[in-house]
Amino acid sequence: MKQTLSNRVEMTLTHLALVFATLVFIVFPAVYFFSAYSYETELLQDKADRTAREIAQFVYRNPEIWAQQEHKIHDLLLQQHISWSNYVRVLDHANATVASLHSPLSGITLTRSADISHGATVLGRVEIAMDFSDVLSQMVVVFLLGLAIAFTVYSVLKTIPLRALNRTMGDLARSNIALEGEARQREHLIAELETKNAELERFTYTVSHDLKSPLITIRGFVGLLEKDAAACDHERVGQDVLQIKNATEQMQQLLDDLLELSRVGRASNPWQPVALNELVAQAVTHVAGRIEQNHVEVSIARGLPGVYGDRIQLLEVVQNLLDNAAKFTYEHATPRVEISGWQQGEEVICCIKDNGIGIEPRYHEKVFGLFERLDGNSEGTGIGLALVKRIIEVHNGRVWIESDGLGCGASFCFALPSADRLTKSMQTNATVS
pLDDT by residue (tens digit) across 184-230? 888 888 887 887 777 666 666 556 655 666 777 787 878 888 888 88
For residue 140, the model assigns a pLDDT of 76
For residue 67, the model assigns a pLDDT of 65
Lowest mean pLDDT among 3-7, 164-168, 182-186, 367-371: 3-7
Give 393-425 pLDDT, tens digit per residue. Answer: 888 899 999 988 888 889 999 999 886 655 555
Which residue would you say has higher pLDDT here, 251 or 90? 90
For residue 215, the model assigns a pLDDT of 74
Cα angle value 166/168/173 (rounded, 5°): 90
Each domain of the chain, given as residue ranges in start order, spans 2-158, 269-433
User: Is residue 14's pLDDT more than 80?
Assistant: no
- Alpha carbon distance 71, 272 (integer Å): 119
User: Is residue 339's pLDDT more than 90?
Assistant: yes
Give 243-302 pLDDT, tens digit per residue. Answer: 888 777 767 766 666 666 666 655 567 888 889 999 999 999 888 888 888 888 999 998
Q: Is 378 exposed, middle or buried (0-12, 13-18, 19+ CB in 10 A)?
A: exposed
Confidence of residue 350 (pLDDT cuts 50, 70, 90): very high
For residue 370, the model assigns a pLDDT of 62
Average pLDDT of the segment spanning 333-349: 90
For residue 414, the model assigns a pLDDT of 94
The 3-state DSSP composition of the chain as helix, strand, coil percent (nearest 5) reads 60, 15, 20
- Alpha carbon distance 286, 315 (integer Å): 10
For residue 17, the model assigns a pLDDT of 64
Confirm if 403 and 367 have CB atoms less than 8 A apart. no
- Nearest CA to 396 out of 418, 420, 421, 417 is that of 417
- Nearest CA to 376 out of 210, 243, 208 is that of 210
Residue 193 CB neighbours (<10 A): 10
Average pLDDT of the segment spanning 363-372: 74
Confirm if 126 and 55 have CB atoms less than 8 A apart. yes
What is the average pLDDT value for the chain, to the nearest integer?
A: 77
Confirm if 324 and 412 have CB atoms less than 8 A apart. yes
- Alpha carbon distance 167, 413 (integer Å): 51
Cα angle value 200/202/207 (rounded, 5°): 90
Give 39-85 pLDDT, tens digit per residue. Answer: 888 888 888 888 888 888 877 766 666 666 777 777 777 777 666 66
How many residues appear in the chain?
Answer: 433
- Nearest CA to 322 out of 275, 290, 370, 365 is that of 290
For residue 206, the model assigns a pLDDT of 58
Whole-number percent of the chain with pLDDT over 70: 71
Q: What are phi and psi of 211, to 5 degrees?
A: -75, -15
Confidence of residue 433 (pLDDT cuts 50, 70, 90): very low
> What sign results for the dihedral spanned by CA atoms 331, 332, 335, 340?
negative
- Nearest CA to 393 out of 171, 195, 232 is that of 195
Which spans in 211-233 are helix H? 212-230
Confirm if 388 and 401 have CB atoms less than 8 A apart. no
Lowest mean pLDDT among 10-19, 28-37, 86-95: 10-19
Confirm if 52 and 114 have CB atoms less than 8 A apart. yes
For residue 348, the model assigns a pLDDT of 93
CATH of 269-433, one of 3.30.565.10, 3.30.300.100, 3.40.50.11400, 2.40.10.120: 3.30.565.10
